[in-house]
Amino acid sequence: MRAAARLAAIPEYFFAGIRERVAQLRAEGVDVIGLDVGDPDQPTPAAIVDRAAAALRDPANHRYPTYAGLDELRVAMAHWYRRRFDVELDPDTQVLPLLGSKEGIAHLPFAVVDPGDVVLVPDPGYAVYASGAVMAGGEPHALRLRPERGFLPDLATVPDAVVRRARLLWLNYPNNPTAAVAPSEFLDAAVAFCAERGILCAHDAPYSEITFEGYRAPSLLQSPGALEVGVEFHSLSKTYNMTGWRVGMAVGSAAAIRLLAQVKSNVDSGIFTVVQRAVLAALQEPPEAVASRNALIAGRQTRLCAAFAAMGVDIPRPRATFYLWAPVPGDGDSRAFAAGLLHRAAVSVTPGVAFGPGGEGFVRVSLTAPEERIDEACRRIRALAG
Ligand SMILES: Cc1ncc(COP(=O)(O)O)c(C=O)c1O
């Protein structure tokens, strides 16, 4: 079979390779602890599952869903936004449910990028920003996230010739993979930068609720002018332990939402109505429920940071996300360090280069394994320290 040329520029999704390698080791009898993929180990809260179970029995929910999603779902999403960020959204024009945020992120360039247009993407960054751009015929331009700048891109250093061709800017805070957070002043400046240059500012915020020690992540849509030039992506996946349900949302600029909805109406037929009804239950959860899940992650941060410190790896405690961004000691070779952990401790972490060349020098540790596996990983890492 002859592959389409565009596929050469988008290798198979990195985590597919990791899953395969870990599965192979497990088949050989190695007890691998997976701290690689960011997939919550805890179950979806019972109230959400119960709502879905009840909805499943209603034949009205078995038919094609609407493209735009249930009215009450978009209203509930807009309410959640008001409650959480004090931002008013029109549920009819500024809210679009997605089949997981990955789907919307991959499709957005089809709505706003022509062949030859530039898409500004963070490096290191979530791979779909660049692969979505490539599939739409766009050219990703990497914005380096450096530790000395708090992993915030320096938009002023993007060459004018690149900026002139740019149609879309991707930002992602709290950040995957670096776990960095962005002050609202940075988001304000990014919106102003995009407004002046006719660029759509897309902020991917699936980790906005996974925060610690009182930190509250801002929304891009709180920035002046963001509702004209900005769109924000959220996900139910990480906040509510719902990765398998595939549901998220895009909110913001009515023009961007309309264009993305136009693409999607040609690609998918909406979210299973049973899942939409479950989301209604999720969005009604009291904030304490999210806080208690975050407390669990914070405990894992403490234990793993201490274990890594014992082997000379000092990891700054992140204020958000369920990742640790660990500096690789010595020559900073992230692949070699990850391979060493896998072979000597049977602990699987993700080499930073998997997120782009800018991720070299770090590995990403995901805190989404059950408590006893986290403890066992800590024991093994400490044993390496000897
Ligand atoms: C930064 C970022 N964006 C988007 C996603 C996709 O989330 P989902 O498609 O489950 O909503 C992920 C998942 O790992 C992510 O890390």
pLDDT in tens, 85-95: 999 999 999 99
| Cβ(351)–Cβ(327) below 8 Å | no
- Could you tell which of 126, 131, 178 is best to mutate to test the pocket of ligand 1, judged by most ligand atoms within 8 Å of the CB? 126
What residues pair up with 234 in beta bridges, in sequence order? Answer: 249
Q: Distance, CA 232 to ligand 1 centroid (Å)?
A: 13
Alpha-carbon distance of 144 to 124, in angstroms, equals 7
Distance of CA 243 to the CA centre of its chain: 11
DSSP annotation of 175 = -
Q: Which atom of ligand 1 is nearest to the CA of 105?
A: 4
What's the per-residue H, E or C state across 193-257? Answer: HHHHHCCEEEEECCCCCCECCCCCCCCHHHCCCHHHHEEEEEEHHHHCCCHHHCCEEEEECHHHH
| Cβ(273)–Cβ(65) below 8 Å | yes
Q: Which of 130, 168, 120, 176 is nearest to 151 (CA)?
A: 176
| Cβ(37)–Cβ(323) below 8 Å | no
Alpha-carbon distance of 188 to 321, in angstroms, equals 22
Q: Is 323 in the pocket of ligand 1 (CB under 6 A)?
A: no
Max CA-CA distance within the chain? 61
Q: Is 368 in the pocket of ligand 1 (CB under 6 A)?
A: no
Q: Is 248 in the pocket of ligand 1 (CB under 6 A)?
A: yes
**Along the chain (386 residues), what's the average pLDDT of each consecutive run of 10 residues?**
87 72 92 95 97 98 96 98 98 98 98 97 97 96 98 97 98 98 98 98 98 97 98 97 98 98 97 98 95 97 97 95 97 93 95 95 98 97 87
Q: Is 319 helix (H, G, I), strand (E, B) or coil?
A: coil
pLDDT at site 20: 82
CB environment 92-103: b (16+ within 10 A), e (fewer): eebbbbbbbbbb
Peptide bond into 318 cis (omega under 30): no
Beta-carbon count within 10 A of 57 CB: 9
Q: Is 33 helix (H, G, I), strand (E, B) or coil?
A: strand
pLDDT at site 13: 64
Q: Which atom of ligand 1 is nearest to the CA of 235?
A: 11
pLDDT at site 121: 98
| Strand bridging mode 230-235 / 166-171 | unpaired
pLDDT at site 75: 98
- Could you tell which of 19, 44, 101, 204 is best to mutate to test the pocket of ligand 1, judged by most ligand atoms within 8 Å of the CB? 101
Nearest CA owner, ligand 1 atom 14: 38
pTM given for the model: 0.97
- Could you tell which of 96, 237, 323, 355 is best to mutate to test the pocket of ligand 1, judged by most ligand atoms within 8 Å of the CB? 237
Beta-carbon count within 10 A of 265 CB: 12
